Amino acid sequence: MDTLALLNRWQHDFPLVPAPFSAIAASLGNTESEVIAACRSAQDGGVISRIGGVWAAGAGGAAMLCALAVPANRLEAVAAQVDAVPGVNHNYEREHRYNLWFVITGGDAATLHARLDVLERDTGLCALRLPMQRVYRIDLGFDLEQGQAAQRAADIGTGVQRVAPLDAPLAALVEDGLPLIERPYGAWAARLALTETGVLQTLRRWLAQGTLRRFGVVVRHHELGFDQNAMTVFDVPDTQVDACGAALARQPGVTLCYRRARADGWPFNLYCMVHGRERAAVRQLIDGATRAAGLQEHPRELLFSLRRFKQRGASYFRACTKEAEHAGA
Protein backbone atom coordinates (compact mmCIF):
# COMPACT_ATOMS: atom_id res chain seq x y z
CA MET A 1 0.00 0.00 0.00
CA ASP A 2 0.99 3.67 -0.31
CA THR A 3 2.49 4.27 3.13
CA LEU A 4 3.41 7.87 2.26
CA ALA A 5 -0.23 8.67 1.52
CA LEU A 6 -1.21 7.04 4.79
CA LEU A 7 1.26 9.07 6.85
CA ASN A 8 0.55 12.27 4.95
CA ARG A 9 -3.23 12.20 5.22
CA TRP A 10 -3.68 11.09 8.80
CA GLN A 11 -1.36 13.38 10.75
CA HIS A 12 -4.52 15.36 11.45
CA ASP A 13 -8.14 14.33 11.85
CA PHE A 14 -7.44 10.67 12.56
CA PRO A 15 -10.82 8.86 12.55
CA LEU A 16 -12.52 8.96 15.94
CA VAL A 17 -14.70 5.95 15.21
CA PRO A 18 -14.68 2.48 16.77
CA ALA A 19 -12.71 0.93 13.89
CA PRO A 20 -10.43 3.74 12.64
CA PHE A 21 -8.10 1.57 10.57
CA SER A 22 -11.07 0.15 8.70
CA ALA A 23 -12.24 3.69 7.91
CA ILE A 24 -8.76 4.61 6.65
CA ALA A 25 -8.59 1.44 4.58
CA ALA A 26 -11.89 2.30 2.89
CA SER A 27 -10.58 5.76 1.97
CA LEU A 28 -7.31 4.38 0.53
CA GLY A 29 -8.66 1.29 -1.19
CA ASN A 30 -6.78 -1.13 1.06
CA THR A 31 -7.74 -3.66 3.70
CA GLU A 32 -7.82 -2.97 7.42
CA SER A 33 -5.05 -5.49 8.04
CA GLU A 34 -2.85 -3.79 5.42
CA VAL A 35 -3.29 -0.39 7.08
CA ILE A 36 -2.49 -1.77 10.53
CA ALA A 37 0.56 -3.59 9.17
CA ALA A 38 1.79 -0.41 7.43
CA CYS A 39 1.40 1.61 10.65
CA ARG A 40 3.21 -1.06 12.65
CA SER A 41 6.05 -1.18 10.12
CA ALA A 42 6.39 2.63 10.18
CA GLN A 43 6.45 2.66 13.97
CA ASP A 44 8.92 -0.21 14.23
CA GLY A 45 11.12 1.52 11.67
CA GLY A 46 11.12 4.78 13.63
CA VAL A 47 9.32 6.76 10.93
CA ILE A 48 6.43 7.53 13.26
CA SER A 49 6.61 7.72 17.03
CA ARG A 50 2.95 6.94 17.69
CA ILE A 51 -0.63 7.64 16.72
CA GLY A 52 -1.89 9.93 19.43
CA GLY A 53 -2.49 13.45 20.55
CA VAL A 54 -0.50 16.69 20.67
CA TRP A 55 -1.52 18.79 23.65
CA ALA A 56 -2.04 22.50 23.67
CA ALA A 57 0.27 24.47 25.91
CA GLY A 58 -1.20 24.45 29.40
CA ALA A 59 -3.42 21.40 28.89
CA GLY A 60 -1.66 19.63 31.70
CA GLY A 61 1.21 20.49 33.99
CA ALA A 62 3.90 22.96 33.02
CA ALA A 63 6.61 23.19 30.37
CA MET A 64 9.60 25.44 29.81
CA LEU A 65 12.15 26.01 27.09
CA CYS A 66 15.68 26.30 28.48
CA ALA A 67 19.15 26.89 27.11
CA LEU A 68 22.72 26.48 28.30
CA ALA A 69 25.97 27.96 27.02
CA VAL A 70 28.20 24.88 27.26
CA PRO A 71 31.95 24.81 26.54
CA ALA A 72 32.52 22.71 23.43
CA ASN A 73 34.65 20.14 25.25
CA ARG A 74 31.83 19.50 27.74
CA LEU A 75 28.85 19.49 25.38
CA GLU A 76 28.23 15.74 25.16
CA ALA A 77 28.69 15.23 28.90
CA VAL A 78 26.33 18.08 29.80
CA ALA A 79 23.81 16.90 27.21
CA ALA A 80 23.77 13.52 28.95
CA GLN A 81 23.13 15.25 32.27
CA VAL A 82 20.25 17.18 30.72
CA ASP A 83 18.80 14.01 29.18
CA ALA A 84 18.74 12.43 32.64
CA VAL A 85 16.64 15.21 34.20
CA PRO A 86 13.06 14.00 34.77
CA GLY A 87 10.67 15.61 32.31
CA VAL A 88 13.18 16.55 29.61
CA ASN A 89 11.70 15.45 26.29
CA HIS A 90 13.65 17.49 23.71
CA ASN A 91 17.37 18.28 23.81
CA TYR A 92 19.20 19.79 20.82
CA GLU A 93 22.52 21.33 19.99
CA ARG A 94 22.06 24.60 18.09
CA GLU A 95 24.44 26.97 16.32
CA HIS A 96 24.82 29.71 18.91
CA ARG A 97 26.72 30.68 22.04
CA TYR A 98 23.73 29.20 23.83
CA ASN A 99 24.30 25.88 22.17
CA LEU A 100 22.19 23.39 24.15
CA TRP A 101 18.41 23.86 24.07
CA PHE A 102 15.93 21.64 25.84
CA VAL A 103 12.29 21.44 26.90
CA ILE A 104 11.35 20.26 30.37
CA THR A 105 7.85 19.30 31.51
CA GLY A 106 6.39 18.55 34.92
CA GLY A 107 3.39 18.83 37.19
CA ASP A 108 3.86 22.53 37.89
CA ALA A 109 6.30 25.41 37.44
CA ALA A 110 7.77 25.00 40.91
CA THR A 111 8.75 21.42 40.08
CA LEU A 112 10.49 22.55 36.90
CA HIS A 113 12.44 25.28 38.65
CA ALA A 114 13.55 22.85 41.37
CA ARG A 115 14.84 20.39 38.76
CA LEU A 116 16.64 23.19 36.93
CA ASP A 117 18.21 24.35 40.18
CA VAL A 118 19.68 20.88 40.63
CA LEU A 119 20.91 20.80 37.02
CA GLU A 120 22.62 24.18 37.41
CA ARG A 121 24.29 23.01 40.62
CA ASP A 122 25.49 19.78 39.02
CA THR A 123 26.79 21.39 35.81
CA GLY A 124 27.98 24.73 37.19
CA LEU A 125 26.08 26.43 34.34
CA CYS A 126 23.25 28.94 34.44
CA ALA A 127 20.20 28.13 32.31
CA LEU A 128 18.01 30.53 30.40
CA ARG A 129 14.48 29.84 31.62
CA LEU A 130 11.96 30.84 28.97
CA PRO A 131 8.33 30.08 29.88
CA MET A 132 5.62 30.30 27.25
CA GLN A 133 3.40 33.37 27.35
CA ARG A 134 1.24 32.97 24.26
CA VAL A 135 0.83 30.42 21.49
CA TYR A 136 0.35 31.50 17.89
CA ARG A 137 0.91 28.11 16.26
CA ILE A 138 1.81 24.60 17.38
CA ASP A 139 1.53 22.15 14.51
CA LEU A 140 4.31 19.75 13.56
CA GLY A 141 2.43 18.30 10.63
CA PHE A 142 4.41 17.77 7.42
CA ASP A 143 3.49 17.51 3.77
CA LEU A 144 5.69 14.53 2.98
CA GLU A 145 4.98 14.66 -0.74
CA GLN A 146 5.85 18.36 -1.11
CA GLY A 147 8.71 18.21 1.39
CA GLN A 148 7.54 21.06 3.60
CA ALA A 149 5.44 21.81 6.63
CA ALA A 150 1.73 21.30 6.10
CA GLN A 151 -0.24 24.55 6.00
CA ARG A 152 -3.21 24.78 8.31
CA ALA A 153 -4.92 27.62 10.12
CA ALA A 154 -2.92 29.16 12.94
CA ASP A 155 -4.23 28.42 16.44
CA ILE A 156 -3.89 31.68 18.34
CA GLY A 157 -4.89 31.87 21.98
CA THR A 158 -3.82 32.72 25.50
CA GLY A 159 -5.51 29.98 27.49
CA VAL A 160 -6.75 26.43 27.17
CA GLN A 161 -9.10 24.20 29.10
CA ARG A 162 -6.99 21.79 31.12
CA VAL A 163 -7.50 18.04 31.34
CA ALA A 164 -9.65 17.22 34.37
CA PRO A 165 -7.96 15.02 37.01
CA LEU A 166 -10.49 12.23 36.40
CA ASP A 167 -9.48 12.17 32.72
CA ALA A 168 -5.73 11.97 33.41
CA PRO A 169 -5.51 8.16 32.92
CA LEU A 170 -6.99 8.50 29.41
CA ALA A 171 -4.66 11.44 28.73
CA ALA A 172 -1.70 9.22 29.66
CA LEU A 173 -2.81 6.66 27.05
CA VAL A 174 -3.12 9.45 24.46
CA GLU A 175 0.54 10.25 25.15
CA ASP A 176 1.53 6.59 24.79
CA GLY A 177 -0.31 6.19 21.50
CA LEU A 178 -3.05 3.99 20.08
CA PRO A 179 -2.57 0.22 20.10
CA LEU A 180 -2.37 -0.96 16.50
CA ILE A 181 -5.39 -3.25 16.60
CA GLU A 182 -8.84 -3.27 15.02
CA ARG A 183 -10.67 -1.51 17.88
CA PRO A 184 -8.02 0.54 19.67
CA TYR A 185 -10.39 2.90 21.46
CA GLY A 186 -12.27 -0.11 22.81
CA ALA A 187 -8.98 -1.42 24.21
CA TRP A 188 -8.41 1.91 25.97
CA ALA A 189 -11.95 1.78 27.32
CA ALA A 190 -11.51 -1.74 28.66
CA ARG A 191 -8.23 -0.81 30.32
CA LEU A 192 -9.82 2.16 32.11
CA ALA A 193 -13.22 0.57 32.85
CA LEU A 194 -14.90 3.09 30.55
CA THR A 195 -17.13 2.73 27.51
CA GLU A 196 -15.77 3.00 23.99
CA THR A 197 -18.36 5.71 23.28
CA GLY A 198 -17.22 7.65 26.34
CA VAL A 199 -13.56 7.50 25.26
CA LEU A 200 -14.41 8.78 21.79
CA GLN A 201 -16.60 11.55 23.19
CA THR A 202 -13.79 12.74 25.47
CA LEU A 203 -11.29 12.82 22.59
CA ARG A 204 -13.73 14.78 20.44
CA ARG A 205 -14.35 17.22 23.29
CA TRP A 206 -10.63 17.79 23.84
CA LEU A 207 -10.19 18.56 20.16
CA ALA A 208 -13.23 20.85 20.00
CA GLN A 209 -12.15 22.91 23.00
CA GLY A 210 -8.49 23.06 21.93
CA THR A 211 -7.08 20.93 24.73
CA LEU A 212 -5.69 18.69 21.99
CA ARG A 213 -4.17 20.58 19.06
CA ARG A 214 -4.43 17.49 16.91
CA PHE A 215 -4.91 13.75 17.09
CA GLY A 216 -3.23 11.60 14.49
CA VAL A 217 0.00 10.15 13.17
CA VAL A 218 3.02 11.76 14.85
CA VAL A 219 5.89 11.50 12.39
CA ARG A 220 9.57 11.70 13.30
CA HIS A 221 10.68 14.51 11.04
CA HIS A 222 14.42 13.76 11.19
CA GLU A 223 13.88 10.21 9.99
CA LEU A 224 11.78 11.54 7.10
CA GLY A 225 14.54 13.89 5.96
CA PHE A 226 13.41 17.11 7.68
CA ASP A 227 16.75 17.63 9.38
CA GLN A 228 17.58 21.21 8.38
CA ASN A 229 15.63 22.92 11.11
CA ALA A 230 15.98 26.42 12.49
CA MET A 231 14.62 28.42 15.38
CA THR A 232 14.41 32.16 14.76
CA VAL A 233 14.06 34.54 17.70
CA PHE A 234 12.99 38.19 17.52
CA ASP A 235 13.11 41.10 19.95
CA VAL A 236 9.77 42.83 19.41
CA PRO A 237 8.24 45.62 21.53
CA ASP A 238 5.59 44.17 23.82
CA THR A 239 2.95 46.41 22.27
CA GLN A 240 3.59 44.87 18.84
CA VAL A 241 4.46 41.26 19.57
CA ASP A 242 0.96 39.78 19.38
CA ALA A 243 0.21 41.33 16.00
CA CYS A 244 3.61 40.25 14.67
CA GLY A 245 3.23 36.77 16.13
CA ALA A 246 -0.19 36.29 14.57
CA ALA A 247 1.18 37.37 11.18
CA LEU A 248 4.27 35.17 11.50
CA ALA A 249 2.18 32.13 12.39
CA ARG A 250 0.32 32.39 9.09
CA GLN A 251 3.43 32.22 6.93
CA PRO A 252 4.31 29.18 4.78
CA GLY A 253 6.76 26.82 6.45
CA VAL A 254 6.23 28.03 10.02
CA THR A 255 5.42 25.03 12.22
CA LEU A 256 5.76 26.58 15.68
CA CYS A 257 5.29 30.18 16.72
CA TYR A 258 4.93 31.58 20.21
CA ARG A 259 5.77 34.36 22.62
CA ARG A 260 8.09 33.64 25.55
CA ALA A 261 9.33 35.61 28.52
CA ARG A 262 12.61 37.42 28.13
CA ALA A 263 15.56 36.56 30.40
CA ASP A 264 18.65 38.37 31.66
CA GLY A 265 21.02 38.63 28.70
CA TRP A 266 18.37 37.27 26.34
CA PRO A 267 16.06 40.01 25.01
CA PHE A 268 14.08 37.88 22.55
CA ASN A 269 10.36 37.31 23.05
CA LEU A 270 9.00 35.98 19.72
CA TYR A 271 10.01 32.54 18.42
CA CYS A 272 9.29 30.50 15.33
CA MET A 273 10.45 27.18 13.92
CA VAL A 274 10.88 26.21 10.29
CA HIS A 275 11.67 22.61 9.37
CA GLY A 276 13.00 21.58 5.99
CA ARG A 277 15.23 19.27 4.01
CA GLU A 278 17.65 21.90 2.65
CA ARG A 279 19.29 24.70 4.63
CA ALA A 280 19.03 27.23 1.81
CA ALA A 281 15.30 26.57 1.43
CA VAL A 282 14.78 26.99 5.17
CA ARG A 283 16.63 30.33 5.11
CA GLN A 284 14.50 31.44 2.19
CA LEU A 285 11.30 30.56 4.04
CA ILE A 286 12.45 32.38 7.16
CA ASP A 287 13.42 35.50 5.21
CA GLY A 288 10.07 35.51 3.45
CA ALA A 289 8.14 34.99 6.68
CA THR A 290 10.11 37.76 8.38
CA ARG A 291 9.28 40.25 5.64
CA ALA A 292 5.63 39.22 5.41
CA ALA A 293 5.17 39.61 9.18
CA GLY A 294 6.82 43.06 9.19
CA LEU A 295 9.71 41.87 11.34
CA GLN A 296 12.67 42.75 9.14
CA GLU A 297 13.58 45.81 11.23
CA HIS A 298 13.55 44.01 14.57
CA PRO A 299 16.66 42.35 16.05
CA ARG A 300 16.70 38.62 15.40
CA GLU A 301 18.95 35.59 15.55
CA LEU A 302 18.83 32.34 13.61
CA LEU A 303 19.74 29.10 15.38
CA PHE A 304 20.01 26.00 13.21
CA SER A 305 19.82 22.60 14.87
CA LEU A 306 22.99 20.51 14.76
CA ARG A 307 22.62 17.41 16.90
CA ARG A 308 19.55 15.80 18.42
CA PHE A 309 20.36 14.34 21.82
CA LYS A 310 16.78 13.55 22.80
CA GLN A 311 13.37 13.78 21.19
CA ARG A 312 10.14 12.27 22.41
CA GLY A 313 6.58 13.36 23.09
CA ALA A 314 5.78 15.49 26.11
CA SER A 315 4.86 13.43 29.15
CA TYR A 316 2.54 15.42 31.37
CA PHE A 317 0.18 12.61 32.28
CA ARG A 318 2.26 9.44 31.94
CA ALA A 319 4.66 10.71 34.59
CA CYS A 320 1.85 11.70 36.96
CA THR A 321 0.09 8.36 36.47
CA LYS A 322 3.29 6.42 37.18
CA GLU A 323 3.96 8.50 40.28
CA ALA A 324 0.43 7.83 41.54
CA GLU A 325 0.76 4.10 40.87
CA HIS A 326 4.09 4.04 42.69
CA ALA A 327 2.63 5.88 45.69
CA GLY A 328 -0.21 3.39 45.91
CA ALA A 329 1.98 0.30 45.59
The structural domains of the chain, ordered by start, are 1-56+132-329 (1.10.10.2890)
Mean pLDDT over residues 147-161, rounded? 52
pLDDT at 222: 58
Segment 51-64, tens digit of pLDDT: 999 888 778 888 99
Segment 254-299, tens digit of pLDDT: 989 999 999 999 999 999 999 888 899 999 999 999 999 999 999 9
Residue 148 pLDDT > 70: no
The contacts of residue 116 (CB under 8 Å, 6+ apart) are 64, 66, 85, 104, 127, 129
Q: How confident is the model at residue 150 (pLDDT cuts 50, 70, 90)?
A: very low
Q: How confident is the model at residue 177 (pLDDT cuts 50, 70, 90)?
A: very high
Give this prediction's pTM.
0.80
Range from 2-16, 20-34, 82-96, 226-240 carrying the lowest mean pLDDT: 2-16
The answer to whether 170 and 199 are in contact (CB under 8 A) is yes
Please, what is the angle between helix 241-249 and helix 279-292, to 10°? 130
Nearest Cα to Cα of residue 246 among 233, 259, 262, 235: 259
pLDDT at 106: 86
Residue 141 pLDDT > 70: no
Q: How confident is the model at residue 225 (pLDDT cuts 50, 70, 90)?
A: low
Question: How many other CB atoms are found less than 10 A from the CB of residue 1?
Answer: 14
pLDDT at 154: 44
Q: What is the mean pLDDT of the chain?
A: 88
Share of the chain above pLDDT 90, in %: 69
Cα gap 66→98, rounded to integer Å: 10
